[in-house]
Each structure stands twice: as C-alpha cells, then as structure tokens.
Amino acid sequence: MKEAGSGAASFNRRDVLRATIVGGAAAAAVTVLPGTAGAHPRPLRQTPILPKPGRSVAIFGGGMAGLSAAHELSERGYAVTVYEPAFLGGKARSMDVPNTAAGGRKNLPGEHGFRFFPGCYQHVPDTMSRIPFPGNPHGVLTNLRPVESSVIGIKGSPAVAAPFGVSGISQLTPETIEKAIITAVGFIPQLPPLEMAFFVKMMMMWFTSSEERRFGQWEYLTWEKALEAEGKSQAYRDYLVNALTRITVAAKPHVSSARTIATIGEALVLAATGIVPEYKGGADRILNRPTNEAWIDPWVAYLRARGVQFIMGQRAVKLNVADGRISNVTMADASGARSTVHADYYVTSMPVDKAQPLITDEVMNADPHLAGIHKLYADWMVGIQYYLTRQSGLPEGHIACMGSPWAITGLRQAPMWANKFQDTYGDGTVVECLSIDVSDWDTPGILFGKPAKQCTKEEVHQEVWAQAKMWLNTGRSWLRDEDIHSWHLDPGLTWSGGATHNETPLLVNTVGSWDWRPNATTAIPNLFIGGDHVRTHIDLPTMEAANESGRAAANGIMNAAGDPGPRAGIFPLVQLPIFDAAKKIDADRFRAGQPHLMDG
Ligand SMILES: Cc1cc2nc3c(=O)[nH]c(=O)nc-3n(C[C@H](O)[C@H](O)[C@H](O)COP(=O)(O)OP(=O)(O)OC[C@H]3O[C@@H](n4cnc5c(N)ncnc54)[C@H](O)[C@@H]3O)c2cc1C
C-alpha cells in the first residue's frame, strides 16, 4: 500500500505557498510588504465599503478565527489585512494530495482531519450562510448535510449503526432530558444499571447547577473525578468516562475540566433532541465536498471581494509595545527576512503554541492577564485518509472505534458528496476516502506496541488500519487490505533526528484553564486575540470556538473605535428555563458553601 502522491515529486511547502500566494497591496495604513503584489481578484457581489481613516486592522493568522474576524470587520468598513505564513483555513482546511490526478480529474482530497458540525454550533452556520456559493439559496451553509447515524465499533462485539439523534421527544422536561441522556449512552455494553443511573444523576446535577457552581466547582474538577470513575466497572471507565470524551470531543478525561465537557455534553444532548429552536442543524452535519471546495475557497473569494488583503508567507514574530499600546509588529518570511506592520488595531489569531512566544514580558507588563496563555498547552490530534478502490459498505455517518488505543474516529468521505468521487478525484480507480482522526498519540498500539508519537509514518498507517479493522470488522469485512489504493497523512507531521514533529498541534482543555484563557479584548487598547484558546461559550478547540473568538475580537475593535454600528452576533448556549428555579436554589447554596442538593 503506498502513500498517496509519494511516487512523484515530494510535497514542497514552499511550492504550496507560492501557489497560494495572493497578491494585493496592503490596506491603507498597513505597511506594504515586499514581494507580495499581484492582481486583485474580481469582486463577487458587493463592492467593498470604502474604509474610514483610523480603521486599519492587521490580523495575524488566516485560520477560522482570523477569517471570522476579517469577515465581520470587512462587512463593517474596516481595512483588513490578513497575514498568513502557511495556509488559509488553518487546521480546518482540506488539501490536494499532489500528483494523484489523472484523466482530467482533480487531485485526491486530503485533510488535516475530517470535520463535523454538531447541531449546537451557531456561529459557524451563521457565517456560512453569509458566504455566497453558486446555486445555493443559503450560501455555503447549503453545503452542509445532516448526519443521521453513527457506526460504533466495540472490540469483540459486532459494530452497530446507532441513530445520531434522539427521536420521539416532543417536549423538553427533566424526564425527557433524562431519556435523551440514557439513549445517548445506551449502546455501551456491560454497563451496570446502577452506574448508568449514577451517570444520569451526575448529568442532571449539571443541568441544575448554577453558573456560580459551574465556574467555581466543576471547572476545578477533572471529568474523571467528577464522574467518580475510581472503583467503577471497566465499561464505565473505558467507555463512559474515557472513550466518549476522547472520541466525541477529543478531550482527555483525566485532565479536562468537568465544566467544559459537561457544557458541550449538555449542548450535544439538547441538539440531539432536534427540538431546541436555536440548534437548528439537527444532531450533526458534515460537508458535501472537501472543506476547501465547500467553504474555505468561497470564503476567501468573498473576503477578497469585500476588500480584505491576504499577505501570504509572513508570520508575526514580535509585538512591539510603546506607551502601553502595540506600536507595530515585527514580521518574518520563510527566509527569516524581517519587515514591520503598522495598523490601528492588531489581532493575533494564531494557535496557542504560536501565540505563546509573542506574549513577552513587555506584553505581559502591559496586560498581566495574558501571562495565562503560557499555562495553556497543545497536544496532538491528526488525520489520515485511506483511498479505497471498493466501497467499504460501512453505514453512512460517523465512525467511532470505542476504546481503541489511539482513540480512532472516522468518516466516509464520499457517500454524501455532491459529485461522484471516482469521476471527480484521483486516477479513476478510487471510489471513496475513509478519513480517520487519531486523537491519542501517547497510548501503545496493537501492532507495534508503541504510541503513535514513536512510530514511523508507515507504522502509523499500518497501526491505524489494523485498529480500524479490529474494531469495525467484527462480523463483517468492511475494511479489506486489498482495497487500499493509497493513504495520506497530515503533512504537518515530519520525521527527523529519530523523532516525530507536529507543526500543528491542537489545544488541550485542562482543569482550571478558563482562568488562564485570554479574553478577545485585552488591557492593551489596540490588541485583540482570536483563536480556539480564547474564552468562548464552547471552550473546546473547535471551529465554533475559533469563529466566536474572531467575532468577539471584531466587536472589541468596534468598541475601541467608538463605532456605533451593529456588533457581530455572539450566541450563548441554550439554558433551559425549566431548570431556572433549581439553578437559583443552587446559587444560594453555593454562596453559602453548601453542596448541590443532588450531591452525595
Ligand atoms: C484532526 C483535527 C480534527 C478536527 N475536527 C474538528 C471538527 O470536526 N469540528 C470542529 O469544530 N473542530 C475540529 N477541529 C478543531 C478545529 O479545526 C480548530 O479548533 C480550529 O480550526 C482552530 O482555528 P484557529 O483559527 O483558532 O487556529 P488555526 O486553524 O490553527 O489557524 C491559525 C492560523 O495561524 C497561522 N499562524 C501560525 N503562526 C502564525 C504567526 N506567527 N503569525 C501569523 N499567523 C500564524 C497558522 O498558519 C494558521 O493558518 C479539529 C482539529 C484537528 C486537529
């Protein structure tokens, strides 16, 4: 089995950069950088609003957060320039696998990791609906397709297709919510009924906990501790505590804050009922073509049409401070050559590991809370794609290999796509792509007995495939070695000096980390922060969090500019009024130092 694209010229990051460089002089007050001029793309629909003086914004990072900030600001007449060292779309992008096309088709589609859009997302769908897409009534949003089911692989048991949503609920009451929780975890084998009941009780305790207790108590407990995992059955610990969190939200139960996990758990359960009006998208949705085709490319085109300038190949290396403000930002290109950016407002929207070096002593002197960024940390979650010459036949929807050592999840990229895969991508022999995310890089695997971080590229591929087969081929042979045409691993992974490096790690939620996360608005009047490490309603590293942070940064800039115009929408998660009275009692108890009524 060969690595896709490996037979041809090697993947060259600079080539990709060159290919994606977009031209354009930098906006009004922003310094024009050398070597970035080019043709300005034709506007899509609207003509850009002429920016007012004093409204230039430099955004560092063209991922979900940076593009979201650019979107809101450009629609409000700000002169926005986005500086991106590598790829627009950041971790959310999809990518061509070079040299895999034949017969007029496109290259095989690769991705950093497959995308899912739970129904509780509100910011991302709102942005998508405002990006034009030819023939779509609701822009890019129309490219989302509902996912009805999931495939649950459990070692030793036949894989089951379980509905993703919870049907039959017409009213939200404490009883129906209990039912929804039981349905959501009901597939777990050998779970003692008493432990299931305990889990449901804990979730109901969460639903009725006050904000004070959520932030004052749950935040400082790990998910594992909150669920009192110790001493419970293997099934409870393996599946309910561990696999469910790792697989659904790529979080680590022994380090993640119980507040964060319960927050997303509540939102997922409510979305799964299908009757919460704010969560319009059903339980879950996926895109109907590769992410760049469906979303990122049309988005960038729209933003260019709004006058946003994209300067590629440039990264921020120093925030320079004078008189408590950012005076300018030092930039570097791939060769290390330096230049300087001046703007009225600055937004850092790079990932946390890349933001940390920018938060120097002089920046922290100007805003001491930003020191918390250094306490946040990132770990690995990486995708691999298998291109198959025969339909796997796996049921459509999400695939979860519950309890697999590398916490494997997957999605068949083809059945719900708009164009027939075989006719559109590759050499004509590939019929589908099984896209797999590996969320645990530290636990030894089943083939080589090593954690993924210690495996070679080839070993990673073999091990993932072996785990997928062991967890899914129980009773059926859905995955067959002979069907693999080739595979593609995230190009952010590199091997040198006997070690594996990951250029794009993902933030890990940790207990108490809410205190350390920055707000989008800082105490430095012209510095704003975007990214999935910023305080947002879903404080897990997700596209939704990154999008909300970009909106919050845009609103912060509008506040700083004294702009009377409408702010970007920020949508809180749904809190059911049926629990208001219980929460009020709990708030009083929390203030009096008493436990929750259901605690104990
Ligand atoms: C395998 C995988 C699967 C995932 N699946 C999902 C999913 O299904 N659903 C979901 O909601 N989320 C998912 N996520 C999470 C989601 O992709 C991220 O949380 C989100 O895309 C982060 O967006 P961001 O803008 O904060 O950061 P990024 O996407 O990391 O973008 C930041 C950008 O900043 C640039 N940059 C870096 N350094 C600098 C610098 N010094 N100066 C300027 N720019 C810089 C980077 O090149 C990058 O383009 C997944 C993540 C992974 C890793």
What per-residue confidence (pLDDT) applies to 161?
A: 77
For the record, the structure tokens of 267 come out as 């939102």
| CA nearest to 533, candidates 326, 403, 358 | 358
Ligand 1, atom 20: nearest CA belongs to which residue? 543
Ligand 1 atom closest to 544 (CA) = 11
What per-residue confidence (pLDDT) applies to 47?
A: 52
- How many angstroms does the Cα of residue 124 sit away from the middle of ligand 1? 14
The DSSP result for 38-57, as a single string, is -PPPPP-SSPPPPPPTT-EE
Ligand 1, atom 53: nearest CA belongs to which residue? 381
pLDDT in tens, the chain (600 residues): 678 876 433 323 333 233 322 223 233 333 322 322 232 333 334 455 566 778 999 999 999 999 999 999 999 999 999 999 999 999 999 999 999 999 999 999 999 999 999 999 999 999 999 999 999 999 999 999 998 788 888 888 888 777 766 777 889 999 999 988 888 888 788 899 999 999 999 999 999 999 999 999 999 999 999 999 999 999 999 888 987 788 777 788 999 999 999 999 999 999 988 899 999 888 889 999 999 999 999 999 999 999 999 999 999 999 999 999 999 999 999 999 999 999 999 999 999 999 999 999 999 999 999 999 999 999 999 999 999 999 999 988 889 998 899 999 999 998 999 999 999 999 999 999 999 999 999 999 999 999 999 999 999 999 999 999 999 998 889 999 999 999 999 999 999 998 999 999 999 999 999 999 999 999 999 999 999 999 999 999 999 999 999 999 999 999 999 999 999 999 999 999 999 999 999 999 999 999 999 997
Ligand 1, atom 42: nearest CA belongs to which residue? 315
Cα–Cα distance for residue pair 112/6, rounded to 1 Å: 17
What per-residue confidence (pLDDT) applies to 170?
A: 85
Alpha helix (H) residue ranges in 227-366: 234-235, 244-249, 258-273, 291, 297-305, 352-355, 361-366
Q: Which residues line ligand 1 (CB under 6 A)?
A: 60-66, 83-87, 90-92, 112-113, 115-116, 315-316, 349-351, 354, 381-383, 437, 506, 531-532, 541-544, 546
Q: List all residues 6 or more positions away from 110 whose beta carbon is below 8 Å from its beta carbon.
A: 4, 94, 95, 96, 97, 385, 488, 490, 491
- How many angstroms does the Cα of residue 542 sit away from the middle of ligand 1? 8
- How many angstroms does the Cα of residue 594 sit away from the middle of ligand 1? 41
What per-residue confidence (pLDDT) applies to 584?
A: 98
CB 535 within 8 A of CB 373: no
Each domain of the chain, given as residue ranges in start order, spans: 2-91+291-376+514-560, 171-282+576-591
What per-residue confidence (pLDDT) applies to 1?
A: 61
Ligand 1 atom closest to 546 (CA) = 26
- How many angstroms does the Cα of residue 290 sit away from the middle of ligand 1? 16
- Axis crossing angle, helix 64-74 with helix 543-560, rounded to the nearest 10: 40
Ligand 1 atom closest to 506 (CA) = 53
Q: Is the entire prediction scored with pTM above 0.85?
A: yes
CB 329 within 8 A of CB 341: yes
Long-range CB contacts (within 8 A, 24+) of 193-199: 195/232, 195/233, 195/235, 195/236, 195/240, 198/228, 198/232, 199/227, 199/236, 199/240
Cα→Cα distances 107→176, 481, 533, 552, 558, Å? 48, 22, 33, 37, 42
> For the chain, what is the largest distance between any 2 Cα atoms, rounded to a whole number of angstroms?
72
- How many angstroms does the Cα of residue 266 sit away from the middle of ligand 1? 24
Instruction: For residue 469, give the H/E element and its range.
Output: helix 457-472
Cα–Cα distance for residue pair 271/452, rounded to 1 Å: 33
Ligand 1, atom 4: nearest CA belongs to which residue? 113
Dihedral over Cα of 534, 512, 537, 295: its sign: positive
What per-residue confidence (pLDDT) applies to 19?
A: 30
Phi and psi based region of residue 565 (left: phi greater than 0; alpha: psi -120 to 50; beta: remaining): beta
Homologous superfamily (CATH) for 2-91+291-376+514-560: FAD/NAD(P)-binding domain (3.50.50.60)
